[in-house]
Amino acid sequence: MARTLSDNDHASHGGPARASATPLEGLRRAVIGAAEALAAKPVGAITLERPKRAQFGDYSTNAALLLAPGLGVPPREVAERLGAALADRLGPSLARFEVAGPGFLNLFVADSWLTGALEQALAAGEDFGAGGAEKPERILVEFVSVNPTGPMHVGHARNAAYGDALARMLELHGHRVEREFYVNDAGSQVRKFGQSIQALARGGSVPEDGYKGDYVLDLAARLANAATMDPGELGHAAVAIMVENIEESLGAFRVGRFHRWFFESALHEGDPSPVAHTLSILEQQGHTYTHEGALWLRTTDFGDDKDRVLVRSSGEHTYFASDIAYHQDKRERGFERQIDVWGADHHGYVPRMKAAYEALGGDPGELELLIMQLVHLVRSGERSQMSKRAGEFVTLEDLVGEIGLDAARWYLLARSHDTTVDLDVDLAREQSNENPVYYVQYAHARIASMLARAGAERVLAATAAVLDPAREPLHAAERALVEQLLAFPAELAEAVERRAPHRIAAYALELAQGFTAFYRDCRVVGAEPETVESLRIALCVASRSTIARCLALLGVDAPEHM
RNA sequence: GCCCCCGUAGCUCAGCCGGAUAGAGCAUCGGACUUCUAAUCCGAGGGUCGCAGGUUCGAAUCCUGCCGGGGGCACCA
Q: How many residues in chain A?
A: 562
pLDDT tier at A394 (50, 70, 90 boundaries)? confident
pLDDT at A21: 81
**Exposure of A98 by Cβ count < 10 A (0-12 exposed, 13-18 middle, 19+ buried)?**
middle
pLDDT at A20: 54
| A428 has a pLDDT exceeding 90 | no
Give the HSE-up count for residue A74: Cα atoms under 13 Å, Cβ half-sphere: 7
pLDDT at A208: 83
pLDDT at A150: 87
Asked whether residue A65's C-beta has any atom of DNA/RNA strand B within 7 A, the reply is yes
Give the HSE-up count for residue A511: Cα atoms under 13 Å, Cβ half-sphere: 31
Query: Reduced to 3 states, what is the DSSP secondary structure of residue A266?
Result: helix
The predicted-structure confidence for A202-252, as pLDDT tens digits, reads as follows: 999 888 888 888 899 999 999 999 999 999 999 999 999 999 999 999 999
pLDDT mean over A491-497: 96
What is the torsional sign of CA A71, A74, A79, A82? Answer: negative
Instruction: Name A47's Cβ contacts closer than 8 Å, sequence gap at least 6.
Output: A60, A61, A62
pLDDT at A188: 86
CA distance A328 to A361: 10
CA of A316 to C1' of B71 (A): 29
pLDDT tier at A521 (50, 70, 90 boundaries)? very high
Chain A window 536-555, residues with Cβ within 7 A of nucleic strand B: none
Nearest to A212 by CA among A393, A388, A397: A388
What is the torsional sign of CA A501, A502, A507, A512? Answer: positive
CA of A66 to C1' of B62 (A): 17
The predicted-structure confidence for A73-82, as pLDDT tens digits, reads as follows: 899 999 999 9
Residue nearest to nucleotide B2 (CA to C1'): A305
Asked whether residue A333's C-beta has any atom of DNA/RNA strand B within 7 A, the reply is no
What percent of chain A has pLDDT above 70?
93
CA distance A403 to A126: 31
CA of A81 to C1' of B20 (A): 20
The more confidently predicted of residues A341 and A154 is: A341
CA distance A222 to A242: 12
The more confidently predicted of residues A359 and A469 is: A359
CA of A442 to C1' of B38 (A): 12
CA distance A134 to A22: 14
pLDDT at A385: 54
| A11 has a pLDDT exceeding 60 | no
| A138 has a pLDDT exceeding 90 | yes
Chain A window 417-446, residues with Cβ within 7 A of nucleic strand B: 418-422, 424, 427, 431, 433-434, 436, 438-439, 442, 445-446
The predicted-structure confidence for A14-39, as pLDDT tens digits, reads as follows: 333 344 589 999 999 999 999 989 88
Buried-exposed string A468-480: b where 16+ CB fall within 10 A, e elsewhere: ebebeebeebbbb
pLDDT tier at A532 (50, 70, 90 boundaries)? very high
Give the lowest-confidence range in A8-12, A290-294, A350-354: A8-12
CA of A447 to C1' of B34 (A): 23
Q: What is the mean pLDDT of chain A?
A: 90
Query: Reduced to 3 states, what is the DSSP secondary structure of residue A142?
Result: strand
CA of A65 to C1' of B57 (A): 9
CA distance A82 to A71: 12
Q: Which CA distances in Å does A174 have to A133, A203, A220, A335, A532?
A: 5, 55, 47, 15, 35
> What is the rounded end-to-end Cα distance, in angstroms, of chain A?
39
Chain A window 343-372, residues with Cβ within 7 A of nucleic strand B: 344-349, 371
| A326 has a pLDDT exceeding 50 | yes
Chain A window 68-107, residues with Cβ within 7 A of nucleic strand B: 100-102, 104, 106
| A368 has a pLDDT exceeding 60 | yes
Query: What is the CB neighbour count within 10 angstroms for residue A103?
Result: 21
CA distance A495 to A505: 10
pLDDT at A391: 46
pLDDT tier at A510 (50, 70, 90 boundaries)? very high
| A491 has a pLDDT exceeding 90 | yes
Report yes or no: A451 and A547 within 8 Å, Cβ to Cβ.
Answer: no
pLDDT at A53: 87
**Exposure of A255 by Cβ count < 10 A (0-12 exposed, 13-18 middle, 19+ buried)?**
buried
Nucleotide nearest to A371 (CA to C1'): B5
What is the torsional sign of CA A493, A495, A498, A499? Answer: negative
What percent of chain A has pLDDT above 90?
76
What is the torsional sign of CA A534, A539, A544, A546? Answer: positive
pLDDT at A85: 95
Write down all domains in chain A, each with its CATH number in brackets: 23-127 (3.30.1360.70), 436-554 (1.10.730.10)
Report yes or no: A199 and A210 within 8 Å, Cβ to Cβ.
Answer: yes
Give the lowest-confidence range in A138-147, A188-197, A202-211, A258-267: A202-211
CA distance A256 to A69: 51
Chain A window 159-198, residues with Cβ within 7 A of nucleic strand B: 184, 186-190
Q: Which CA distances in Å does A113 have to A3, A56, A94, A227?
A: 6, 18, 8, 75
3-state helix, strand, coil in chain A (%, to 5): 55, 15, 30
CA of A302 to C1' of B1 (A): 23
Report yes or no: A457 and A412 within 8 Å, Cβ to Cβ.
Answer: no
ipTM, two decimals:
0.96
CA of A84 to C1' of B24 (A): 37
The predicted-structure confidence for A279-325, as pLDDT tens digits, reads as follows: 999 999 999 999 999 999 999 999 898 999 999 999 999 999 999 99
CA of A408 to C1' of B59 (A): 36
pLDDT tier at A381 (50, 70, 90 boundaries)? low
pLDDT tier at A380 (50, 70, 90 boundaries)? low
Chain A window 198-257, residues with Cβ within 7 A of nucleic strand B: none
Nearest to A264 by CA among A388, A424, A149, A426: A149
pLDDT at A558: 97
Q: Which CA distances in Å does A345 have to A52, A461, A542?
A: 39, 56, 42
Ramachandran sector of residue A145 (left: φ over 0; alpha: ψ -120 to 50; beta: rest): left
Q: Which nucleotides of B are covered by protein (CB under 7 A)?
A: 2-7, 11-27, 36-42, 57, 69-77
Asked whether residue A289's C-beta has any atom of DNA/RNA strand B within 7 A, the reply is no
